[in-house]
Amino acid sequence: MIERLKGFRDFYPEDMIVREQIFSTMRRSAKLFGFMPIDYPSLESMELFRTKSGEELLSQTYSFTDRGKREVTLIPEATPSTVRLLGAKKNIPKPVKWYCIPKLWRYEEPQSGRTREHSQFNADIFGDASPIADAEIIGLACETLNSLGLKGSFEVRINHRQIMERILNSMGTRNITEGLNIIDRFRKETRERMIENLAGNLGSKENAEILMSFISEKVPASGADDRIREFFPNIHSEKFSENMSETVSALESWDYSDIVFDPATVRGLTYYTGIVFEGFDREGRYRSIFGGGRYDNLSTLITGQEMTAVGFGMGDAVLENLLREKNLWKIETGPNRYVIITIADEAQKFSLKLAGYLRARGIEAATSNTHKNLSNSLRSATANWYTHAIIIGKKEMESGKATVRNLSTGEQKEMDTADIN
């Protein structure tokens, strides 16, 4: 027997039904915020990711040279393809609000919440540089989680890359990108290792200790400016603090209030230019549920066109873990699902006509054609999440009515076919 590859997942119907419900919630939330759907190939030119991605990501790609001697890769992230689509149509009126739910691939060590293939909900706004656009993106992520039943179970940690760059510069950083990458590993390294790495970047252990104290505490988003001034009174970050404040104010006006200022949230990718954010479960048991930020320079790198942008990605793996823990990974009771069980050969034609009649009315109606005994057919129907069984035998064929059994309660009654809904 050939087994599935390490880091990949199989989904049986009991999980796929729930996954489809989750993806429907994502699409519904995106529509509420005015986002339009897009899609693109799973295979792209490797050059698209060389343009904006770091060496670590490139080393994790499922890439190869195709028969046309082109370097291609299964897409490891969504943003470059989205930007490519936008650049290919220069006359699209701005701002643009797009979303998609692609599959992504990365060859990295599988662990809880991280697989080598996953689906990801992505949303982006192009051509709007306002703090309200930042709020809309974060709000969409919050709305999605709230709609999945997770309201109160997560917090959003925000920061601003320009503030952090000014702080690092004021402390004599040797390399801003390196400094941000060190900070990004704050929750993955020991304190001793962090101090050692920061001292190497900032030139002194004293500066490392100061920065470590600053990034070690989250505060309410309204206290961001005070926190910055407490540690770095001489840097000028009022513009960026005001930007964050306007974003948070908009989110609070929409009742998305679980927002904190977290100086350790910097997002490792180098293309972020403004606000950055990540959503985590309140208990801190899992990796980030979603993350994103403003990336106003990426379009110039990929398409040569200047374009402001802000967006986020929400992977399915961590989300599944959290929903299972909260007992929210379950099939929703929705419209009735019928299976027609034929228990007499001569009733087959009647059953088929009934199935066609119900389907024409938009009612889900499967047929069971195995002619197993009734008890086995009912067990099979229940195992496949049908809500009702329509039992057709010689009696039903002659009367023109149907025997309908509720598979949850066991209640059974005879009905006119026109009354089945």
Q: Output the pLDDT for position 237.
A: 75
Q: Is 7 left (phi over 0), alpha (psi -120 to 50) or beta?
A: left
Rounded Cα–Cα distance for residues 70 and 80 (Å): 18
Average pLDDT over every residue of 227-233: 91
DSSP 5: P
Q: Is 39 helix (H, G, I), strand (E, B) or coil?
A: coil
CB-based contact 339:367 (threshold 8 Å): yes
* Helix boundaries (H) for 33-130: 46-50, 55-58, 79-88
What's the pLDDT tens digit per position in 311-322?
A: 999 999 999 999
Backbone angles phi, psi at 155, to 5 degrees: -130, 155
Q: Is it the case that residue 54 has pLDDT exceeding 70?
A: no
Q: Output the pLDDT for position 52.
A: 61
Angle CA(219)–CA(222)–CA(223) in degrees, nearest 5? 50
What's the pLDDT tens digit per position in 362-412?
A: 999 999 876 668 888 999 999 888 999 999 998 988 898 999 999 999 999
Q: Output the pLDDT for position 271.
A: 81
Task: Taking the CA atoms of 81, 83, 87 and 92 in sequence, report the sign of the dihedral they define.
Answer: positive
Locate tokens 């496949």: which residue? 384
Domains of the chain: 13-325 (3.30.930.10), 337-419 (3.40.50.800)
Average pLDDT over every residue of 184-197: 92
Q: 126-130, 330-334, 379-383, 389-393 — which is least confidently predicted?
A: 330-334
